[in-house]
Amino acid sequence: MLRVVVLGAAAGGGVPQWNCGCEGCRAARASGHDLMRTQASVAFSGDGEHWFLINASPDLRQQLNATPQLHPKTGALRHTPIAGVILTNGEVDAVAGLLSMREGSPFTIYAHEKVLAILGSNSIFNVLNEKTVRRQPTEINEPFEPRLPDGARSGIEVLPFAVPGKSAWYLEGKAHPGGETGDGDTLGLKITDKTTGKCFYFIAACAEVTDALKAEIDGAALVFFDGTVWRDDEMIKAGLGQKTGKSMGHVAMSGEDGAIARLADLDIDTKIFLHINNSNPALLPTSPERKATEAAGWQIPADGTEIVL
């Protein structure tokens, strides 16, 4: 069976963000951890012993310490149950946590060549010795089975697929190390237990809900979906920035073309918003936006939430 743990549910910067005094951040600081969220990542396992991460957030060390399933086994001097990390994009909040995994334990990084090119162009990632930490290219619409550290099969199939998005913001106006053409900067993942056939989807960045995307995820047992902003101009209205959600590669939760409306007619057992920005009022438990989100059948998860399929 598939086990999935939400390591972090927030967008870049987390909640509260270190330099932010918006309503969400103030509420999180006053909540005694109830509203606090670290940056988005999940872990999954098919056997409860070997785990794979989807993205490695800057909060990874904190997340691993808070997740008993990912602790070294009792009695081992050096050990990790983490067998691999699957990257869906090259943003800071998806790759920076790799630097916290530099202590010599073997695992594999799986990513599209465009994202691997970003890692390869920045020498700081050389702290992950490629003799120990392999970098395995993945292809869009080509399923693969991530391997355990000893090379054994994991029993899990991962299917990367392209979703509307953009390259990492820090590459704006610069040459992309992986080239300017083609998809690969923003991926969704379908994760399937090959024994049971149960699957879930992870889509933490998506600029538009297309008909093709709807067809892909219809009928899923579990979907993690981009919940960065409630409304497209949210950060501008709040005085927190000058960019819309869509210009950053994120569709709004609300509105006629938002995720809630566009996905309302799909048959999905469990719908969870992830990558939620500190500006998003749906974070607040008593807000009208949270009530509307839950009334539509969506969940706002706490860090540490575990789902078994």
Domain that holds residue 80: 3-308
pLDDT digits (tens, 9 = 90+) for 220-253: 999 999 999 999 999 999 888 889 999 999 999 9
Using the predicted structure, report yes or no on whether residue 122 has a pLDDT greater than 90: yes
The burial of 211, by beta-carbon neighbours within 10 Å (0-12 exposed, 13-18 middle, 19 or more buried), is given as exposed
In the block, which residue shows the tokens 């920045």? 122
Task: Report the predicted TM-score, pTM, of the whole model to 2 decimal places.
Answer: 0.97
Using the predicted structure, report yes or no on whether residue 185 has a pLDDT greater than 90: yes
User: What domain count does the chain have?
Assistant: 1
**Integer angstrom CA distances of residue 135 from 105, 138, 273, 302:** 14, 10, 29, 31
Q: Can you give the pLDDT at residue 239?
A: 87
φ/ψ region of 7 (left if φ > 0, alpha if ψ in -120 to 50, else beta) reads alpha
* Cβ proximity of 127 and 102 under 8 Å: yes
Q: Can you give the pLDDT at residue 264?
A: 98
* Cβ proximity of 253 and 260 under 8 Å: yes
| Alpha carbon 3 to its chain's center | 16
Mean pLDDT within 178-191: 93
Mean pLDDT within 144-173: 94
Helices (H) and strands (E) in the chain, counts: 8, 13
Assigned token pair, 51? 């785990």
Q: How far apart are CA 108 and CA 110, in angstroms?
A: 6
* Cβ proximity of 141 and 161 under 8 Å: yes
Q: How far apart are CA 206 and CA 247, in angstroms?
A: 11
Q: Can you give the pLDDT at residue 181?
A: 85
Q: Beta-strand (E) ranges in the chain?
A: 3-8, 41-45, 51-54, 82-86, 107-112, 133-138, 156-162, 187-193, 199-203, 222-226, 270-274, 298-299, 306-308
Which of 98, 184, 157 has the alpha carbon at shortest distance from 133? 98
pLDDT digits (tens, 9 = 90+) for 23-76: 999 999 999 788 999 999 999 999 999 999 999 999 999 999 999 999 999 998
Q: Can you give the pLDDT at residue 33?
A: 84
Q: Can you give the pLDDT at residue 182?
A: 82
Task: Report DSSP state, residue 157.
Answer: E
CATH number at residue 221: 3.60.15.10
Q: What is the mean pLDDT of the chain?
A: 96
Mean pLDDT within 81-92: 98
Q: How far apart are CA 153 and CA 33, in angstroms?
A: 38
pLDDT digits (tens, 9 = 90+) for 272-286: 999 999 999 999 999
Assigned token pair, 183? 């998809």
